[in-house]
Amino acid sequence: MSVVRQQRLFSLAGPDQQPLLIDKPTGMTSHDVVDEVRRLTGQSKVGHAGTLDPLATGLLIVLVGRQQTKRQPEFTKLDKEYLVTASLGVETDSYDIDGTVLVTVPSQRLAAVNVTDIERCLRQFRGEIDQQVPPFSAVKRGGTKLYELARRGRLDLAALPVRRVTIYRLELVSFRQSRLDTQFSLKVKCSSGTYVRSLVHHTGQCLGVGAIVTSLRRTAIGPYRLSQACSLEELARR
């Protein structure tokens, strides 16, 4: 890529501009996105505000240049919005479809679950709550990330850290039962630091059948909307 093209891309996200809003594809880590923006802009000082798991897609705020990266805490603390789809009848160690299966539930038990049951469970997670973080997360204990302890088998799952978070909106938008699967989708608006995987996991526990995230899309961060974002491919064509 030419220096002129790199300079033009950097000007789109310079200190006098808004941060880059990227629609992260599934399969990439947030750090992968940062590396790609670093390559496209030629800037070494690039960061992001609000990690998305590799499974997740959607809005990622990317900060380019020293002036923007200094503002990272300002962007990180903004509220987040998500659309999440979950499957009932299974639990994994990571609380999502990428994890190792720990528990499965017979289909006849799933057939008894209905919309009223889900709404009843969701009520207890609205507002300010104490949320247990997932075992596979970057939260640290004794200076070591939880997912590193989990991979070594040195994490006590009964004593996971708890965070005080706020769930401003938790709306059931769909519920689908079939012979092969039972799924539901939620719209979530929450404070920074909330784990949607934990919301789904604890909803599954409340229902007594387990639940895992199968897709997660971040649709907003504070005033920034996914509709304003571009893909990495679109960024490269600018």
Residues forming the active site: 53
For residue 14, the one-letter residue type is G
33 contacts 48 by C-beta, under 8 angstroms: yes
Q: Is 57 helix (H, G, I), strand (E, B) or coil?
A: strand
Spatial CB neighbours of 220, under 8 Å, sequence gap ≥ 6: 59, 80, 81, 189, 226
Q: Tell me how far apart the alpha carbons of residues 33 and 54 are, in angstroms, rounded to a whole number.
A: 11
How many Cα neighbours within 13 Å face the side chain of 232?
19
Whole-number Cα distances in Å, 73 to 5, 61, 62, 91? 29, 12, 13, 33
